[in-house]
């Protein structure tokens, strides 16, 4: 399939950049259940950008490792979210997400295809922290399964959007897109640390 408008990927990234200025994990949400789960991942811009970066990284791996990397990200996110209710509070989890965003962004900016173990390690650490934070953000009175389903759907859609952007940039021979996106993600990681 030919893509005729190379700006679609850039427009999608720009639209996702402005999903909201609120922090995802301090947001008092009156809604519970599916709606809260679907919207919660979109309230933290550093998380949105990091998930897109994971998708871009997945798109630039070989086919078999890319499927494994994407699946591993979603499974670790889900398991970590489920385990969050049983784990003690991890005060550095948000900082870990910021560091993960910086690492993911730098990998994309320098346009290297990291060894599978390095890519899996960075993505796995991000997935652990990301899932943990979302598990801890379960609104009081919300159905944990329905909330989790909602946040997993949104996370999957963001991951697919990142993969689509990465594959589109490869087909269009637009090597600049992942590099610019990587720079934005790395900057978001630095800003989130401040």
What is the Cβ-side half-sphere exposure of residue 134, based on CA atoms within 13 angstroms? Answer: 38
The dihedral built from the CA positions of residue 119, 76, 64 and 41, taken in this order, carries a sign that is: negative
CA distance 130 to 151: 11
**Cβ atoms 154, 37 nearer than 8 A:** yes
Calculate the average pLDDT of the chain: 79
Q: How confident is the model at residue 17 (pLDDT cuts 50, 70, 90)?
A: very low
Residue 12: pLDDT over 70: no
Supply φ then ψ for residue 78, to 5 degrees.
-65, -45
pLDDT tens for 120-138 read: 888 898 899 888 988 888 8
- Tell me: pLDDT of 32 over 80: no
Rounded Cα distance between 187 and 154, Å, is 23
User: Is the Cβ–Cβ distance between 20 and 45 less than 8 Å?
Assistant: yes
Q: Does the pLDDT of residue 43 top 80, yes or no? A: yes
Confidence class for position 21, pLDDT limits 50, 70, 90? very low
Average of per-residue pLDDT across 67-72: 87
User: What span, in angstroms and rounded, lies between the C-alpha atoms of 116 and 135?
Assistant: 27
What are the C-alpha distances in Å from 179 to residues 125, 132, 184?
Answer: 22, 28, 9
Joined tokens for residue 169: 């940039």
> Looking at the predicted structure, is the pLDDT value of residue 194 above 70?
yes
14 pLDDT exceeds 60?
no
Q: Rounded mean pLDDT of 179-193? A: 87
Lowest mean pLDDT among 56-60, 64-68, 151-155: 64-68
What is the model's pLDDT at position 23? 41
DSSP class of residue 92 equals T
Per-residue pLDDT averaged across 156-182, rounded?
Answer: 87
Query: Where do the domains of the chain lie?
Result: 32-193
pLDDT of the residue at 75: 93
Task: Please report, rounded to a whole number, the percentage of residues in the chain having pLDDT higher than 90.
Answer: 10
The SS3 assignment for 143 reads coil
As given in the structure block, the two tokens for residue 66 are 């890319």
pLDDT for residue 157: 94
């Amino acid at each position: 399939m030919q893509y005729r408008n190379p700006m679609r990927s850039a427009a999608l990234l720009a639209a996702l950049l402005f999903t909201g200025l609120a922090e995802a994990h301090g947001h008092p949400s009156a809604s519970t259940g599916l709606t809260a789960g679907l919207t919660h991942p979109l309230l933290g811009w550093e998380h949105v950008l990091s998930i897109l970066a994971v998708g871009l990284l997945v798109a630039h791996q070989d086919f078999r490792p890319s499927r494994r990397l994407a699946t591993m990200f979603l499974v670790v996110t889900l398991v970590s979210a489920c385990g969050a209710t049983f784990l003690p509070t991890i005060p550095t989890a948000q900082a870990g997400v910021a560091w993960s965003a910086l690492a993911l962004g730098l990998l994309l900016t320098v346009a290297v295809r990291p060894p599978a173990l390095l890519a899996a390690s960075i993505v796995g650490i991000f997935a652990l922290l990301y899932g943990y934070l979302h598990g801890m953000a379960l609104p009081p009175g919300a159905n944990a399964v329905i909330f989790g389903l909602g946040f997993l759907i949104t996370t999957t859609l963001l991951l697919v959007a990142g993969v689509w952007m990465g594959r589109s940039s490869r087909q269009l021979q637009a090597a600049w897109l992942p590099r610019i996106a990587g720079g934005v993600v790395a900057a978001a990681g630095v800003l989130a640390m401040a």
